[in-house]
Structure 1
Amino acid sequence: MVVSDNHGWGDILTELRERYEGDMDALIHCGDSELRADDPAIQEYFIVRGNCDVEEEFPYDVVEGVGGRRIFITHGHRYNVKTSLMKLTYKAQEYEADFVFFGHTHMVGAEKIGETIFLNPGSIAMPIGRRDKTYAIVEANKQQAAIRFFDDKHRELTELSCTFSFDSVS
């Protein structure tokens, strides 16, 4: 489960954790929580530091192995994602990432660049480009990754769903 940009709205993170903990391999937060590192709302999340976060305990980047895939998590502001994904793509190649999860733009979307799947879950608090406050669920196996998006009421936004194939089986 991937979420980003809650901007202080801790209750939604608690709700998502309670809903998905134990059913997901990982709970991932792509920054701008605006919460303290000891806030119970972000416990159990892999979390990174966004441009609106002041907690120095949050790293800017995290690389984790989840479900046999390498995941690079960042907020995106240090890679100028509002302009282009080029710098983020180079960093993903450096990390040999299968997935890149990022936020910052508040715009939901997913795409595959080369062999890497890039996912921005949008903002769970202040979306841009649509009204829905969003988060994402990623289901991956050796052949493909399915990405499903949900609103803050946990309704699936089927028009945003997408599936990507992995060219090489590892």
Structure 2
Amino acid sequence: MKILAVSDTHGDREILTALLKQQPHLDGYFYAGDSELAADDGLFQQYEAVEGNMDYDPNFPMQITTTIQGVTVFMAHGHRFGVNFGLDKLIAAGEGVHADLIIFGHTHQLGVEEHAGIVILNPGSISQPRGQFANLGGTYATVEFTADNVHVDFLKRDGAIVPELSRDFSRKHD
């Protein structure tokens, strides 16, 4: 099972279209908020999307939980979980729905870590990156789950993988 995660486009609709062309035929496309687009925009028929703090359409959900091929994904923008001050509240919400993967945005800084068998991913901002990797010019991520492994790649706007940021996590089994 392989999915794409992207966040914080802030009105850059064209990049969302470009990513669909760069990464066709994935099992899921996740948008972690701050599009500044309408919730009924046709792109959100392909991307599962949540409301960010800069989205003003009340028809976006604040968070979603979905299962794809046995993998449970929890996604929220992050602002209502205080992600600028730590991930504890976000992790607790993901644990509450038995998530295998938590996707969030808001900080505009890419990152991935594992906590108690849950992979926690911020794909960074594709349009307004901040922090240590801002010089990459914007990032998104792909996540592939196999029977024993979770592989995360961070990619630049042009679809090029940034190999030094790729990470693998052992998949925990009950």
Q: Tell me the TM-score normalized by structure 2.
A: 0.93
Q: Counterpart of 1:153?
A: 158
Q: Is residue 140 of structure 1 aligned with residue 136 of structure 2? A: no
SS at match of 1:16: helix
| Alpha-carbon contact 1:80-1:87 (below 8 Å) kept | yes
Q: CA deviation at 1:115?
A: 1.4
Q: Counterpart of 1:4?
A: 7
Q: CA deviation at 1:81?
A: 0.5
Q: CA deviation at 1:111?
A: 0.1
Give the counterpart letter for 1:71 in structure 2: V
Q: Counterpart of 2:172?
A: 167
Q: Is residue 72 of structure 1 aligned with residue 74 of structure 2? A: yes
Q: Is residue 13 of structure 1 aligned with residue 29 of structure 2? A: no
Give the counterpart letter for 1:146 in structure 2: H
Distance 2:143 2:127 in 1: 20
Gaps of 5+ in 1: none
Distance 2:154 2:104 in 1: 15
Distance 1:38 1:168 in 2: 38
How many pairs were matched up?
A: 168
Listed one character per residue, the Cα deviations across residues 22-52 of structure 1 (whole Å, up to 9, x for unaligned) are x200011000011012223433100000000
Q: Counterpart of 2:135?
A: 131
Give the counterpart letter for 2:104 in structure 1: F
Q: CA deviation at 1:160?
A: 0.7
Distance 2:128 2:54 in 1: 13
**Which has the larger helix fraction?**
2
Listed one character per residue, the Cα deviations across residues 110-153 of structure 1 (whole Å, up to 9, x for unaligned) are 00011110000000000011222000011111211000010001
| Alpha-carbon contact 1:11-1:41 (below 8 Å) kept | no
Q: Compare 124-133 and 46-55 and name the one that shifted more.
A: 124-133
Q: Is residue 120 of structure 1 aligned with residue 122 of structure 2? A: yes
Distance 1:67 1:120 in 2: 22
Distance 2:69 2:129 in 1: 29
Distance 2:40 2:173 in 1: 40
Q: Would the alpha carbon gap of residues 7 and 104 (structure 1) be closer, same or farther in structure 2, given more than 3 Å must change?
A: same
CA RMSD of aligned residues (A): 1.1
Equivalent positions of 1:45-60 (< 5 A) are 45-60=47-62
Q: Counterpart of 1:82?
A: 84
Q: CA deviation at 1:18?
A: 2.6
SS at match of 2:84: coil
Distance 1:144 1:44 in 2: 26
Which 4+ runs in 1 deviate beyond 6 A?
Answer: none
Equivalent positions of 1:102-113 (< 5 A) are 102-113=104-115
| Alpha-carbon contact 2:22-2:159 (below 8 Å) kept | no
